[in-house]
């Protein structure tokens, strides 16, 4: 489960960076990144 979350976070960051480079779906990618960050913080707090 933990590896899956890290994989999802990594993919979202990669897509977010590609969105910056190519200016594709910027708003949507930012929302996904914020959601991933919130999930990451919640997981770290619950440990």
pTM of the model: 0.48
Long-range contacts of range 22-29, CB-CB < 8 Å, 24 or more positions apart?
Answer: none
Query: What pLDDT digit, counting tens, does each position of 1-47 carry?
Result: 678 878 887 887 787 777 777 776 666 767 777 787 888 888 888 87
Cβ pair 19, 25 in contact under 8 A: yes
């Amino acid at each position: 489960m933990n590896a899956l979350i890290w994989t999802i976070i990594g993919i979202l960051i990669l897509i977010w960076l590609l969105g910056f480079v190519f200016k594709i779906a910027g708003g949507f990618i930012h929302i996904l990144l914020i959601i991933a960050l919130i999930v990451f913080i919640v997981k770290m707090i619950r440990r």
